[in-house]
Structure 1
Amino acid sequence: MNVAGTVLLFCSVYLIGVWIGRIQAGGSRKALRKNMQWKNRYREHLTEMRLRSTADAFHGLSSAFRESGSRSFDRANREIAATALAETEKEICQPCGGCHLGKMQLQKDTYYLRYLMTAFGKNGRINTDDMPRIFNETCCEMPKYLDELNEELERSQVQIDWKKRFLESREVAALQFQEAENMLLAIASSGEEWEDVTEEWDAAVRRECRKLRLRLGRILVESDHRGHLQIHMILQTGSRRPVPSREIADAVGLALKRRFRVEENGKSMIGREAARVVLMEEPVYGVCLGVARAVGGGGDISGDNYSAMELPEGRYLLCLSDGMGSGAAACEESEAVVELTEQLMESGFSLEGTVKSINSVLLLREGEQCPATLDLHCLNLYTGDLSSRKQGAAATFIKRGEKVTVLESADMPIGWNRNVTGEESVSQLEKETFVVLVTDGVVEALPGTDKEEFLAEILRRVKGGNPQMMAEDILALAVGQEEPRDDMTVLVAAIQSRN
């Protein structure tokens, strides 16, 4: 074989070897990628199982706190009632000795002891109707017996109140455990709500990053059940000039024909060091706010406080609280309610959990009981669903064109008693909808007997427009020509489409 043939054979063998090597390398990369995907999915599965296990533990703690607290409170109440009956028998029945009724073992009757304490807690006194019929028919010292029994129970009132506070504190802890359980379960299930659509959008995103002279490492594009996208990227610049994250969001949005924004608290500038960037699709709706306020009674501090803020996951909070009375004390109470509402809602609490938690905190505070109203609304900016919860608050008005819906509530303010009543209502909002929140001072200052209907009729005639002007007009209508006698606050949220 000549030299040319040898060279040709060597080159052929070399090329075949390279080709085989590439095939093997490609197969190895595919196998490695599949292995990595399996490992990632397995890690996600383990994480989900651990979250659910921790949620079960919180559920057990919540149940244990509630059950043990209720049993402890019931046992303490029965012991107080039994002691009061025994002392009354010792003071009245033994000296009398006129009948055998004093020897009735009422202090060992569990059902009667519970009934006795329920009647005393409800009426503040035990009456003849609360005693056994045979006592009422035969006891010759019934008035004296009842007076002594009521005195014994009144002496125990401090202990009863302390036990109630103790039970309420356990209820607060149980509620926190329950909310922690709900949030962990929500996190564990969050992966099921998103679908990996990286392959569909990968090329377009990489193309835009190259135009901006960015080096794109890993990328993950997810879509929820409504088709809204989230883009997770590892980026760094290929030059010395940093690139604003907002510019990246605009460029990617233009290419994908959608509107994106940078995740809250994300990096504002991308430099030469690799950084994680998350782009979230802009919600369908936006909120424009208008506020008008007046201080009643010639004071300089309003007892009303409000909050309007965007929450994580495309939610928007509207909150209005009216403290009892006016001045600094009322302001302090309503401010505490609003601040707690912001913190709980931002951390992921539900409306129900938020209301119950704040109610328990107010009841457990030292000093005089100071309840406050709570007008709480949470808007989903992607779907337009408005969830509402009202505790002792004035009516809320939802205006869509000439149609006005009135949301009213007969529930007591929070911090009034241990049991919080009321239900959450859900309304479907659309663009060009106005949500009007007012305090009692505004409604009570309106003319006529059906004041809510009067304001609703005024809103029907308003053609919409600027929410700030609408709030000022409503306040001017309520104030009139006189100095306001109560604090007044008007909050108008205009729901607008971003498209």
Structure 2
Amino acid sequence: MHNRSYNEQDAIQRLLLFEEGLSRLIELMKIEKKDVLGNDMDFLCQSIMQDVCRKCPKYRECYGSRQKETIGEIASILEQAYQCSGVDGRMASSEFRRNCVFFQPFMEEISWLYRLIYQNIYWEQRYDEIKQVMCRQLDEQRLFLRECRVNMQKGEEICGRKKMALKTLFFRKGIHFIKGKEYKDGSGLLQVTVQVQPLLGTKKAELVRKCLNTYYKRNFYRNMETTWLRPGENRISFIEENGFHVVFGQRCCNKKGEDVCGDTFSFTNFGRKRAVLLLSDGMGTGKKANEDSRRLIETLEDLLEAGISEEFALEMIQDALLFQDKGAFSTIDAAVISLKTGILKLLKAGGMATFIRHKNSVERIMPAALPPGCRIGQQFDLKYKKLYDGDMVIMVSDGMLEFENMPEISFRMESLIGKIKTNNAQVFANELIEAVPVLEDGYDDDRTVLVAAIWEKGTQKCGINVGRE
């Protein structure tokens, strides 16, 4: 027991040191504001003086008594060149054009030097962009480490009368209650972690859950796969059950002539706290589009399974894709449903509209963001909606909405959704994809429908599907 506690404290301390090290590294990498015009002016003046002006009979005058005016003229030309992305003889003042003996070679030299400076600026900007991405990634890692450290430290020790009451309950089941901690997580669910020891032999972990249910008057589930309490000390965590459950449905159709669908989707429950639907539409159709979209979905899944928030995960993917092949963009749609509160969080990066079917209406939620990786510092759409018993969330790829652009069709997707009366998520997905009009020569694009029906605990279930395609 003492060794376990020491190891935990040691891990917390190491996380703190790593977090502080990342903070110092970020400070070292911060980009300082550069005086681009000043640095370029020095380079430009030195080069022109050596290559052009030294041969001019007015050299001593221009860089002697009139040095201030000459330098000012060069600065004015350079500043206009930055604004116009090029050098033109008309950028010089009329007085300078009259008095400069070598005006033509003077302007040609500035034009050549400007192109050289422009290339340097471009690569410096690219280097700064990479540094910005690296700094942001390091800062995100630092925040994630801090979250892990705080999670290890948070919670209140179970003590006093509460501890005595739990000791009595556990003793009646043949289990010695050693100590415990309780805290509410970010979704408002109560989590209880206990250290217990069977008085004799082994005991079922289910007995611990029943004791907690009895004392807290709530339903708990195990936060791990532990089934038995072995002889000696056992550490086991339980989380309060949620108030909602989600039933999934899906259906997809390939573009005519293609063997695979370019859309990739995923739906699952993460830790019984949140239901997550993911949909990615790869650019184009077929195998290449499928590979691009699948890579994004699988990466996002891995990050979510590690406990990273959806916003943080999308930002990491966005940064990682900034310097990819620019012909390989894929959209990302994420719908996250809190199983505690029924709050829907929609995150969109280039995806299509999402629909919510309420009991008496259909709501369309429009996107605005670009696919991830298009530009530095781009944002994704983030919207929140409250869901109620019987509501459905419908996510679609762009092929499902092409019919709205057909001139001979006047109705929209809301009308089709409203006409489907079933509450079964899978049946709904099947009926919607069959109801959408298509061109006479077949499917013009890949078409995918994801459906999540939300129900309060205790209402009729329609079969739960979990998987990825």
Which TM-score bucket, shorter chain as reference? 0.7 to 0.9
Could you tell me which residue of structure 2 aligns to residue 318 of structure 1?
A: 277
User: How much does 1:133 deviate?
Assistant: 6.7
What is the rounded CA distance, in whole Å, between the counterparts of 2:319 and 2:388 in structure 1? 35
**Alpha-carbon distance change, 106 to 203 in structure 1, aligned in 2, over 3 angstroms:** same
Q: Is the 8 A contact 2:171 2:177 kept in 1?
A: no
Could you tell me which residue of structure 1 aligns to residue 182 of structure 2?
A: 222
What is the rounded CA distance, in whole Å, between the counterparts of 2:205 and 2:408 in structure 1? 53
Could you tell me which residue of structure 2 aligns to residue 207 of structure 1?
A: 169
Unpaired segments ≥5 residues, structure 1:
1-35
Q: Deviations over 1:336-363 (max 9, x none)?
A: 2112222333334444433332122112
Could you tell me which residue of structure 1 aligns to residue 457 of structure 2?
A: 498
What is the rounded CA distance, in whole Å, between the counterparts of 1:450 and 1:426 in structure 2? 35
User: How much does 1:135 deviate?
Assistant: 7.6
Could you tell me which residue of structure 2 aligns to residue 339 of structure 1?
A: 298
What SS does structure 2 have at the residue aligned with 1:379? strand
What is the rounded CA distance, in whole Å, between the counterparts of 2:409 and 2:299 in structure 1? 31
Could you tell me which residue of structure 2 aligns to residue 13 of structure 1?
A: none
Could you tell me which residue of structure 2 aligns to residue 31 of structure 1?
A: none
Q: Deviations over 1:443-474 (max 9, x none)?
A: 11456569997112222333341111111122
What SS does structure 2 have at the residue aligned with 1:363? coil
What is the rounded CA distance, in whole Å, between the counterparts of 2:147 and 2:410 in structure 1? 39
The aligned amino acid for 2:169 is: R
Q: Deviations over 1:175-229 (max 9, x none)?
A: 2222233334445655897555664476367536634xx4233242525398743
Could you tell me which residue of structure 2 aligns to residue 472 of structure 1?
A: 430
**Alpha-carbon distance change, 298 to 173 in structure 1, aligned in 2, over 3 angstroms:** same
Superposition TM-score, scaled by structure 1 size: 0.71
User: How much does 1:381 deviate?
Assistant: 1.8
What is the rounded CA distance, in whole Å, between the counterparts of 2:41 and 2:138 in structure 1? 32
Residues 1:169 and 2:137 are matched in the alignment: no
Could you tell me which residue of structure 2 aligns to residue 487 of structure 1?
A: 446
Q: Is the 8 A contact 1:437 1:491 kept in 2?
A: yes
User: How much does 1:368 deviate?
Assistant: 4.8
User: How much does 1:393 deviate?
Assistant: 0.8
User: Whose radius of gyration is greater, 1 or 2?
Assistant: 1
User: How much does 1:281 deviate?
Assistant: 1.0
The aligned amino acid for 1:405 is: E
Q: Is the 8 A contact 2:254 2:445 kept in 1?
A: yes
User: How much does 1:243 deviate?
Assistant: 4.2
Q: Deviations over 1:110-166 (max 9, x none)?
A: x9868755x57xxxx53769x847389959869x9599559936x965x66654543
Q: Say what the alpha-carbon RMSD is for the aligned residues.
A: 4.7
What SS does structure 2 have at the residue aligned with 1:397? strand
Q: Which of 133, 137, 142 pairs up with 1:181?
A: 142
What is the rounded CA distance, in whole Å, between the counterparts of 2:52 and 2:401 in structure 1? 56
Unpaired segments ≥5 residues, structure 2:
459-469
What SS does structure 2 have at the residue aligned with 1:364? coil
Q: Which structure 2 residues correspond to residues 7-406 of structure 1 after superposition, within 5 A?
A: 55=19, 58-65=22-29, 67-68=30-31, 71=33, 105=71, 109=75, 116=81, 126=86, 132=91, 134=93, 149=112, 152=115, 162-187=123-148, 194=155, 199-200=161-162, 203=165, 206-207=168-169, 210-211=172-173, 214-220=174-180, 222-224=182-184, 228-238=189-199, 240=201, 242-246=202-206, 248-249=208-209, 252-253=212-213, 256-264=216-224, 266-312=225-271, 314-365=273-324, 367-406=325-364
What is the rounded CA distance, in whole Å, between the counterparts of 1:141 and 1:322 in structure 2? 55
Identity %: 22
User: How much does 1:412 deviate?
Assistant: 1.4
Q: Which of 409, 417, 420 pairs up with 1:459?
A: 417
**Alpha-carbon distance change, 243 to 177 in structure 1, aligned in 2, over 3 angstroms:** same
What is the rounded CA distance, in whole Å, between the counterparts of 1:309 and 1:439 in structure 2? 19
Could you tell me which residue of structure 2 aligns to residue 435 of structure 1?
A: 393
Query: Comparing both structures, which one devotes a greater share of its residues to helix?
Result: 1
User: How much does 1:321 deviate?
Assistant: 1.0
Q: Deviations over 1:13-67 (max 9, x none)?
A: xxxxxxxxxxxxxxxxxxxxxxx9xxx9xx99999899778656544544543x3
What SS does structure 1 have at the residue aligned with 2:442? coil
Superposition TM-score, scaled by structure 2 size: 0.74
The aligned amino acid for 1:224 is: K
- How many residues align structurally? 442
What is the rounded CA distance, in whole Å, between the counterparts of 2:279 and 2:391 in structure 1? 19
Could you tell me which residue of structure 1 aligns to residue 467 of structure 2?
A: none
Q: Is the 8 A contact 1:234 1:276 kept in 2?
A: yes
What is the rounded CA distance, in whole Å, between the counterparts of 2:147 and 2:455 in structure 1? 29
